[in-house]
């Protein structure tokens, strides 16, 4: 299918008297794509692209709107903990659109940040009021997978492709293909997932950004740059996990595999079996993690609250259980029947839909946390062993976008005996129950633990020069607006920073931690300085910089 060039012309009018929408006039005009966050006001002026290409069979008419200074548009992320008021919002559909909007922003001296699904809890997409917010969620093209003998399969995709869309596309391919690791949340877009170095539970596959073998980025001059390890390994390591600081990412090319099945095992041993004695618990944990492809542990606070009156009156967690999920590759056939999978989807839909209402109740009435947390954990409990295709096993909890939460995730290197993860989890659990003894409930969801090998990408939060180093990731989740969560999570973070030299996950809630920027600069100065030298090459004026990352890079 050939690329069609559409010439757009129009009048950029700033008059507040204009009561009509101003749209670009194009060669042919079947459809209109609105690119502002809210519905345009009657006096909304237009910002036009002079040359737009589109590879679809249908031509488009494009209206890119600019909010007036008196009524700026408002963007809020999924969890509603980040908000900004950009002067312009763009929603490109093609590479040429990206190039043109970057050139326009440069001419107008605007800064740019990008956003897709808005699932990030940090301020990575936040812009100032005179800057541009670019929505990449319409950049959804998946190119045909490529097989190279001796190297395997790869697939190139634009940054607005969701996890579910890629899973479905690869599943229908002949032969069926799959990502070896992924996030549980399947509604997020790969642009944010990869740029911020997100991860799944697969230990040996590392982060999702480590699956990248090529990245294409439009820099501050509007030039498309292709980064590969073969061309320049240092620049590639910066581009693969770039935090959106090198430009607007056009595509990633990822390594994928032929579809495979895994045995998914769910067990619920007593928490004390792992935390009662960190030495013994560490030995159990080490054996389990090293023999599995993927391992994840969940602690639901107060999950034994309904079990006995003694637990309710004296507190403590002696009878609490820990949910352990294990995934192992297998040649066995899929044992999940169509009926079983349908029931799981229905159960998950109602669980997450109901769960969001329960989360709001816990945020408003903290004393309900032990009861509701216990009920949710019991409702989700399923002791099981199933053989499933890897995407079905990874996305074991569907419709997570309906359960709006906020969380802090910290990562640290594991010791040889795996005692540190047990000690770290024990510290959090003890603090949760210590606070509960005072009538405070800052954690209303789970504390979960995963294990991933080090990344060689210089801006990755699990960066290490030794590829065999294993990191433990611990995430604390709570309902949005839970009283005391920010203070509690900051306290946990400072303890982990002191005891384990922990780092935060870039996409999670971390900027509230006291002293975090100086701490990270001291801990990771060589990598930060190396990345900054590369960043200045592609964005010398800081077009793609924002406040948080400016401090991190020493601006």
DSSP 180-237: SS--S-SSSBHHHHHHTT-B-SBTTT-BGGGGEEEEEEE-TTS-EEEEETTT-HHHHH
**Cα gap 295→278, rounded to integer Å:** 18
Q: Edge-to-edge strand order for the sheet containing 132-135?
A: 88-90, 132-135, 112-115
Residue 279's H or E segment, with its range, is: helix 278-291
Tokens describing residue 537: 């090459």
pTM of the shown model: 0.86
- The angle subtended at Cα 344 by Cα 341 and Cα 345, nearest 5°, is 90
The three-class DSSP label of residue 336 is coil
| Residue 344 pLDDT | 87
R_g (Cα) of the chain, nearest Å: 24
Contacts of 465 (CB under 8 A, 6+ apart): 456
Dihedral pair phi/psi, residue 537, rounded to 5° = -65, -40
**146-259+518-552 in CATH: which number?**
3.30.465.10
Tokens describing residue 164: 């579910």
**Cα gap 238→240, rounded to integer Å:** 6
Q: Confirm whether 146-259+518-552 and 261-505 share one CATH topology.
A: no
Q: What is the DSSP letter of 534?
A: H
| Residue 46 pLDDT | 33
Q: How many CB atoms lie within 10 A of CB 62?
A: 26
| Residue 315 pLDDT | 55
Q: How many CB atoms lie within 10 A of CB 403?
A: 20
CB-based contact 435:441 (threshold 8 Å): yes
Fold of 261-505: Vanillyl-alcohol Oxidase; Chain A, domain 3 (3.40.462)
CB-based contact 245:278 (threshold 8 Å): no
Domain segments of the chain as ranges? 146-259+518-552, 261-505
Q: Which of 210, 213, 155, 208 is nearest to 185 (CA)?
A: 208
Question: Distance of CA 24 to CAs 156, 384, 512, Å?
Answer: 31, 57, 43
Tokens describing residue 169: 């596309």
Q: Which of 551, 400, 413, 430 is nearest to 472 (CA)?
A: 413
- From first to last of its 555 residues, the chain has per-residue pLDDT tens of 333 332 222 222 233 333 333 223 222 222 323 333 333 333 333 333 333 333 333 333 333 433 332 235 899 999 999 999 999 999 999 999 999 999 999 999 999 999 999 999 999 999 988 899 999 999 999 999 999 999 999 999 999 999 999 999 999 999 999 999 999 999 999 999 999 999 999 999 999 999 999 999 999 999 999 999 999 999 999 999 999 999 999 999 999 999 999 999 999 999 999 998 999 999 999 999 999 999 999 999 999 998 755 554 455 788 999 999 999 999 999 999 999 989 888 888 888 888 889 999 999 999 999 999 999 999 889 999 999 999 999 999 988 998 899 999 999 999 999 999 999 999 999 999 999 999 999 999 999 999 999 999 999 999 999 999 999 999 999 999 999 999 999 999 999 999 999 999 999 999 999 999 999 999 999 999 999 999 999 999 999 999 889 999 999
Q: For 267-300, b where at least 16 C-beta lie within 10 A, e where not — what string? A: eeeebbebbeebeebbeebbebbeebbbbbbbbb
CB-based contact 219:539 (threshold 8 Å): yes
| C-alpha dihedral, 8 to 14 to 18 to 23, nearest 10° | 20
């Amino acid at each position: 299918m050939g690329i069609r060039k559409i010439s757009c012309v129009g009048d950029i009018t700033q008059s507040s008297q204009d009561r009509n929408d101003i749209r670009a006039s194009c060669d042919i005009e079947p459809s209109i794509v609105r690119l502002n966050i809210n519905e345009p006001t009657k006096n909304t002026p237009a910002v036009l692209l002079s040359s737009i290409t589109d590879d679809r069979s249908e031509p488009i008419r494009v209206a890119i709107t600019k909010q007036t200074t008196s009524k700026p548009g408002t963007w809020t992320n999924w969890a509603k903990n980040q908000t900004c008021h950009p002067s312009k919002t763009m929603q490109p559909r093609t590479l040429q659109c990206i190039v043109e909007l970057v050139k326009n922003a440069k001419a107008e001296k605007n800064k740019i940040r990008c956003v897709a699904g808005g699932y990030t809890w940090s301020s990575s997409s936040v812009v100032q009021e005179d800057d541009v917010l670019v929505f990449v969620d319409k950049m959804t093209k998946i190119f045909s997978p490529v097989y190279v003998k001796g190297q395997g399969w790869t697939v190139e995709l634009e940054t607005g492709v969701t996890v579910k869309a890629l899973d479905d596309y690869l599943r229908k391919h002949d032969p069926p293909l799959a990502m070896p690791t992924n996030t549980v949340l399947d509604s997020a877009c790969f642009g944010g997932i990869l740029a911020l170095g997100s991860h799944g539970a697969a230990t040996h596959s590392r982060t999702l950004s480590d699956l990248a073998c090529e990245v294409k980025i439009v820099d501050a001059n509007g030039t498309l740059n292709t980064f590969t390890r073969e061309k320049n390994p240092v620049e590639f390591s910066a581009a693969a996990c770039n935090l959106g600081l090198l430009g607007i990412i056009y595509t990633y090319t990822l390594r994928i595999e032929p579809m495979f099945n895994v045995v998914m095992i769910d067990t619920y041993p007593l928490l004390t079996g792992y935390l009662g004695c960190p030495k013994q618990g560490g030995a159990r944990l080490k054996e389990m993690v090293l023999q599995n492809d993927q391992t994840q542990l969940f602690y639901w606070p107060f999950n034994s609250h309904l079990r006995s009156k003694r637990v309710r009156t004296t507190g403590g967690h002696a009878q609490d259980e820990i949910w352990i999920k294990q995934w192992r590759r297998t040649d066995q056939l899929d044992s999940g029947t169509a009926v079983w999978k349908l029931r799981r989807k229905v159960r998950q839909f109602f669980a997450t839909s109901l769960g969001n209402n329960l989360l709001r109740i816990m945020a408003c009435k903290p004393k309900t946390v032990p009861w509701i947390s216990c009920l949710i954990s019991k409702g989700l409990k399923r002791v099981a062993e199933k053989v499933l295709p890897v995407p079905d096993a990874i996305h074991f909890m569907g419709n997570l976008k309906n359960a709006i939460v906020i969380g802090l995730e910290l990562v640290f290197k594991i010791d040889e005996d795996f005692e540190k993860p047990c000690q770290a989890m024990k510290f959090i659990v003890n603090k949760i129950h210590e606070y509960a003894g005072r009538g405070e409930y800052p954690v209303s969801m789970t504390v979960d633990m995963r294990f991933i090998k080090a990344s060689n990408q210089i801006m990755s939060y699990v960066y290490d020069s030794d590829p065999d180093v294993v990191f433990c990731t611990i995430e604390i989740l709570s309902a949005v607006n839970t009283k005391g969560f920010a203070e509690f999570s900051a306290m946990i973070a400072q303890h982990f920073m002191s005891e384990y030299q922990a780092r935060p996950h870039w996409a999670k809630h971390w900027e509230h931690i006291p002293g975090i920027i100086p701490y990270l600069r001291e801990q990771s100065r060589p990598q930060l300085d190396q990345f900054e030298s590369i960043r200045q090459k592609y964005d010398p004026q800081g077009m793609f910089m924002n406040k948080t990352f400016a401090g991190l890079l020493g601006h």
